Amino acid sequence: MRKIFLTAIALLSMASASVFGMYGVDTDWINFLTHGNQFRARLDQLGFTLGNDTIKGTFGFDNNTSYGGVYGELLSKASTSSTPAQAGTSGNEYNFRPSISMGLGYTSSLISVGVGYSATLGPRVNKYNGKADAKLVQQAAHTPVLVLNAMDNAFRMAIPIQVYALNDKLPDGTKLSVNVVSVDSQFRYYTGLDMLPQIRLYLRYGGGNYKDETETAKIGESFGFDFRLYFGSMVEEVALQPYVKLVYNGALGKYHSNTRVEAVKIMNSGYNVSNLQLAKSAWNLNLVAGLGLTANSDIVSLYLEPSLGLKVNQAGSTDKNAKETYGLGYDVYAEIYITPLKNLEWYFEASIGNVGDTEGVAFAGTTGITWYLPAL
């Protein structure tokens, strides 16, 4: 008990220092309880996980590249195109826009549980608070997270809840409010079977509204899921992991065309309010087959994952006869790990393709090091 107490004190002491962290506002948190002690420095994250066999913690920054960030960019210049329309900034201001994350977890073979929190800084906006002159204030979205593992880590889940709210009172006394909540949860089950080693399910919901003294209008509401089945086999020294996944995202209701409402993304990119009644709801569907290949040597490890699938998209339309469109989705993803020393690892990750909601071909990549640390 004394050792647990001293470990907790050490973690809290580190959390109060200027240290960078590893987790953002999405389901990356699902790895928190199984990560060993490590310090990680990449273009999009810089941080640590530390603890012992019972208690562990993390703290710091994440770049949130999936929500409008750019790899390596924590400090960005405001502009008309990168700042929400309601901000009213001139483009001469700089925005510090990371997620500051911290978490604490308890681990055991029977059940492990962790709680996390991320405060995501967004673009600064003009706020009146009932006065004639506006004041430039920092926006923020808040993401509490619940992480739980059970059955000796065979079952894992992470449920982050993003919350964004902006309230203001104009000089004429009009009160304005924007509220958005979104959930991006993930559930995994490792079966222990050679033929079907892993099953994953992602469930997503988002919704928000805009309100003033004359009307209440919905920004949008959406629901989506991502269901994956992983298979496994070995060919000589190469591990094969074929998989299939079915991904759906759709707008709820017929008044907007946003198939995935996300609180942090709306804070970073702005929002549209529409009371237009559509005849066709917006949705998209991806059916993907992929193959993961893993090969290891004493120094180098390689993971390669090509995938190919069918993309179906139904745009929101006032025309009840509007038809969905079909396309071919493809993607190639790769990870390379180089370990010149026992506890020091260089990492490179890259992907190119159009499997998701991408129009055209998108390329993304990041690199960095991981230093594996001894237990406390």
| Domains with residue ranges and CATH for the chain | 2-372 (2.40.160)
Q: In this predicted model, which residue has the larger pLDDT, 65 or 107?
A: 107
Q: What is the pLDDT of residue 339?
A: 94
Q: Can you tell me the mean pLDDT for 309-334? A: 92
Return all residues near 107 (Cβ < 8 A) that are at least 6 apart: 33, 51, 53, 54, 55, 56, 149
Please determine, for residue 126, whether its predicted confidence score (pLDDT) is greater than 80: yes
**Contact predicate 243/231, CB 8 Å:** yes
**Contact predicate 327/361, CB 8 Å:** no
Lowest mean pLDDT among 88-97, 114-123, 221-230, 333-342: 88-97
Nearest-CA neighbor of 233 among 193, 262, 264? 193
Lowest mean pLDDT among 43-52, 53-62, 238-247, 361-370: 361-370
Q: Which two tokens stand for residue 147?
A: 């992480």
Q: In this predicted model, which residue has the larger pLDDT, 190 or 18?
A: 190
What mean pLDDT value characterizes the chain? 84
Q: Can you tell me the mean pLDDT for 323-335? A: 92
Strands (E), the chain: 38-42, 45-51, 55-62, 75-77, 94-96, 99-106, 111-127, 135-150, 155-169, 175-190, 198-211, 216-230, 233-235, 238-251, 283-296, 300-314, 325-341, 344-353, 362-372
Q: Can you tell me the mean pLDDT for 151-163? A: 96
How far is residue 148's CA from residue 134's CA, in Å, rounded to a whole number? 44
Q: Can you tell me the mean pLDDT for 57-67? A: 76
The pTM assigned to this predicted structure is 0.85
Run of H or E residues at 297: none
Band the pLDDT of 80: cuts 50, 70, 90: very low
In 163-318, which ranges are continuous DSSP H helix?
263-269
Q: What is the pLDDT of residue 364?
A: 77
Query: What type of residue sits at position 265?
Result: K
